[in-house]
């Protein structure tokens, strides 16, 4: 099992450009999450999906949209990137238990 995978690993955007971060899990987990990690700020929840077909806002959803394409895939879209969105983005998934399993992260720079 690959666990949780994310693409791309690195990305540089110019202000105003759009892009989609991809996340997939092969553990048959129901719940999936998108976090951003900034220095000194810990992990902050952007959006989550408790099950296929549902999505909900987290702490910092502004400027982002998500799609739960199917049970395996949960994508994060930046419609018009801003320098404040420069961050490391982590996807995570969870089964019916409590533990969240994280992907390797995507390092995004917005110039």
Residues contributing to the site for another protein (CB under 8 A):
31, 33, 40-45, 48, 50, 58-59, 90, 94, 98-100, 102-105
Q: Which CB sits closer to another protein, 19 or 43? A: 43
Residue where the block lists tokens 């720079």: 109
Cα–Cα dist 64/30, whole Å: 21
Q: How far is the CB of 56 from another protein (least distance, A)?
A: 8
Q: Which CB sits closer to another protein, 47 or 81? A: 47
Q: How far is the CB of 43 from another protein (least distance, A)?
A: 4
Query: Which tokens sit at 66?
Result: 């998500």
Query: Which tokens sit at 78?
Result: 């930046």
Residue where the block lists tokens 């018009």: 80
């Amino acid at each position: 099992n690959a666990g949780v995978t994310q693409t791309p690993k690195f990305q540089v955007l110019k202000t105003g450009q759009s892009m989609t971060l991809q996340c997939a899990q092969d553990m048959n987990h129901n719940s999936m999450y998108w976090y951003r990690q900034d220095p000194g700020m810990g992990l902050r929840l952007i959006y989550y999906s408790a099950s296929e077909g549902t999505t909900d806002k987290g702490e910092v959803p502004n400027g982002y949209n998500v799609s739960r394409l199917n049970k395996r895939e949960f994508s994060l879209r930046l419609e018009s990137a801003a320098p404040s969105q420069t961050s490391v983005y982590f996807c995570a998934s969870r089964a019916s238990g409590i533990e969240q399993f994280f992907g390797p992260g995507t390092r995004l720079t917005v110039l």
